[in-house]
Chain A
Amino acid sequence: MSVITVERKILEKNDAIANEIRHSFQEKNIFSINLVSSPGSGKTSLVEQTINLAKDKFNIAVIEGDVQTSLDAERIGVFNIPVVQIITNGSCHLEANLVKDAYKQLEEKEIDLLVIENVGNLVCPAGYDLGEDLKVVIVSTTEGDDKPLKYPAMFRNASALVINKIDLLPYVKCSLETLRKNALSINPNLKIFEISCTKDTGLNEWIEWLQSHLKK
């Protein structure tokens, strides 16, 4: 009978909220990163180490995203910095409205760096803008060197790649050279860090990179 032309983005609502968040962060000069990886790559370990090394240099706040439990927020809580836990109750990614609600609890805090730790998943979080400045993807050596090729959208959208668990390289089937090559073939502009959170390796360069992006 009749056809209505719509031409609207399906995730327009998420994008609109993400832009609102981006605007609030800009006003307050907050530099924000959206930390993404598979489960168990070391997102929370990297956040812990970042706080350890940088909490005397600048103010950090953390939004933790998990499907269940507040275990991660409890881990971050011991550092005595502002942290909010989002529990998605089954959903595989964070959405902008969840971050907006979580940020309400942080609005009064003095923040230079806000880390949003996404749900462990290399697929779904790629499609959802959270209003962050940059996406940082972590891949650990135990996952092998083919992950950038298997999950290209995530690596394409990220600004930095943190390769974690490099101390385990002698024991796992993963070539650092191949991993770097695969990642750069998807995104030639990726800034790459090679670190071990448990052995305190390579973290200074990461902290300096974060510091160079701070807005105040």
Chain B
Amino acid sequence: MHELSVAEEIVNISRQYLPKENNVHVKSITIKIGRLSNILPDSLLFCYESLIDNTPLNGSKLIIEEIPIRINCMKCGKNSETDHISFLCPNCNSSEIKIESGTELLISEIELFENNLE
């Protein structure tokens, strides 16, 4: 359920980047979501689309980039990538690991387009 609060924050932050020109619109917002961030992409998309009706973001597309979990093992030194939520090194099974990526929850970019017919 917290996808709704996350979608609200995406809308709040994105609105700060809206151009003043009336003929410039938001085409897409790209966000990065780590596999460890407990966010369900489908649910987030649904919430986003429900929120942007009747706002300047109406018609924009939310593009979700999912970031895999990258683990650096402090015991065997190996770097691994996994989609499976685990905190053990896939190589040596050690739990002494550092999480290099997978916890991201950020807006990376906003794409705008100009509609000259308006």
Contact = CB atoms under 8 A, between A and B. Distances in A.
B88 A10 contact: no
Contacts, number: 91
A1 B24 contact: yes
B105 interface: yes
Q: Is the interface of A mostly helix, strand, loop or mixed?
A: mixed
A1 B114 CA distance: 7
Contacts of A92: 1-2
Interface string B46-69: 000000000000000000000000
A91 B10 CA distance: 17
A210 interface: no
B108 A124 contact: no
Nearest to B114: A1
A153 B36 contact: yes
A188 interface: yes
A3 B111 CA distance: 4
A127 B24 contact: no
Interface string B6-47: 100110111001000000100100010000111000000000
A127 B118 CA distance: 42
Contacts of B114: 1
A6 B105 CA distance: 13
Contacts of A124: 1-2, 38
A8 B13 contact: yes
B2 A187 contact: no
Interface string A97-138: 000000000000000000000000001101110000000000
Interface of A: 1-14, 91-93, 95, 123-124, 126-128, 152-153, 156, 184-188
Given A1-B27, A4-B109, A153-B37, 4 more contacts: A3-B110, A5-B109, A152-B87, A186-B87
